[in-house]
Structure 1
Amino acid sequence: MTLEERINASETRIFKTVFPNTTNHYDTLFGGEAMRMMDEVAFIAATRFSRQVMVTVSSDKIDFKKPIPAGTFVELVARVTHVGNTSLKVTVEIYIEQMYAEGRELAVHGSFALVAIDEHKKPVKIIK
């Protein structure tokens, strides 16, 4: 499989509902909860790409473009955007969808770096 085919095959999409227990006093998704979901989908995409043990080592700038209200669906989309020797960069976007209306909007965008590790938790080469 080519690198591009592996990247395409590892793209990961997760849908969730924003329930009140994940929102703040403004009835919008907690920023920390959005980041937790983003880290999870980034991990899944990185692992699907590498089929190795992966851990998050950093998150880059995360832009919160729109508040995410309770009672909406969100789609998280993660895609590998860079492959290094021992690490991957994964971009993640969160889109908002109203439950009873068409269309969707980009709400959050960010990127995460994950590294492949061995059984001793030391970085190892990503098998390309």
Structure 2
Amino acid sequence: MTREERIQQSETRIFKAVFPSTTNHYDTLFGGTAMQLMDEVAFITATRYSRQKMVTVSSDRIDFKKAIPAGTIIELVGKVSYLGHTSLKVKVDIYIEQMYCDGREKAVSGDFTFVAIDENKLPVKIE
């Protein structure tokens, strides 16, 4: 399988409903909750690509372009954007969909870096 085919096959998409229990006093999704969901999608994407033990080592940048209101559906999309010797980067985007209307828009995007580790938690080559 080529590198590009592996990247395509490891792309991860998760949908969530935004319930009031995950929102702040402005009735929008907590930023920390968005970051937690993004890190989870990034981890799944990195693991699906490498099929190795992966750990998050950094979140390079997270841009909150639009508030995510309660009562919406969000889609998180993770895709490998860079491959190194022992590390890789995953770009995660969050899209908002209204429950009862067509269309969607990008709300948040961020980059997460992962390192492959062995049983001693030392970096290893990504196969």
- Which residue identity does 2:72 align to in structure 1? T
* Equivalent residue number for residue 79 of structure 2: 79
Deviation at 1:61, TM superposition (A): 1.0
Q: 1:7 — aligned with what?
A: 7
Unaligned 5+ runs, structure 1: none
What TM-score do the two structures reach when normalised by structure 1? 0.99
Q: Which residue of 1 aligns with 2:108?
A: 108
> CA offset at residue 96 of structure 1?
0.2
Q: Distance between the aligned counterparts of 1:63 and 1:109, measured in 2?
A: 5
1:87-106 superposed matches below 5 A: 87-106=87-106
Mapped pair 1:34 → 2:26: no
Structure 2 residue aligned with 1:48: 48
What per-residue deviation string (whole Å, max 9, x for no partner) do you get for residues 25-53 of structure 1?
A: 00000000000000000000000000000
**AA of the residue aligned to 2:105:** E
Q: Which runs of 5+ in 2 are unaligned?
A: none
Could you tell me the TM-score, scaled by structure 2's length? 0.99
CA RMSD, Structure 1 to Structure 2 (Å): 0.4
CA distance in 2, matches of 1:79, 1:38: 11
Distance of 2:7 and 2:25 partners within structure 1: 39
Percent identity over the alignment is 74
Runs of 4+ in 1 over 6 A off after TM superposition: none
